[in-house]
Amino acid sequence: MNAFKRYFGLLLLIIGPLFIYELVAGAIANIDTAGKKDINNPVIWIIIITIFTPIAIGLVIFGWYAFRGEYDRLPQKSKEL
């Protein structure tokens, strides 16, 4: 199970920056000043990127701790905290 946690942490380390890259690339591809749809509006993309960037950063932090093995031994009782 500990090996699974470490591999999952590595996966999260890769997914976080990839997620931000895909959001920015999607924004660049879809923003159009002559477009009439909501997806072409830059304000919508700024809001989406602003909301999901901290989430992706949290995934990277969680993945780093999992990859380092910080979650190998979890406390069983509240006295161990």
Burial of 63 (0-12, 13-18, 19+ CB in 10 A): buried
Residue 38, pLDDT above cutoff 80: no
Reference 6, options 61, 64, 56; nearest CA is 64
Distance CA 59, CA 66 (A): 10
Q: Is the pLDDT of residue 34 over 80?
A: no
How many helices (H) and strands (E) are present in the chain, helices listed first? 2, 0
Residue 68 has pLDDT above 90, yes or no: yes
pTM equals 0.79
Question: Higher confidence at residue 1 or residue 50?
Answer: 50
pLDDT at residue 81 is higher than 90: no
Burial 9-39 (b: 16+ CB within 10 A, else e): beebbeebeebbeebeeebeebbeeeeeeee
| Range of 38-42, 43-47, 57-61 with top mean pLDDT | 57-61
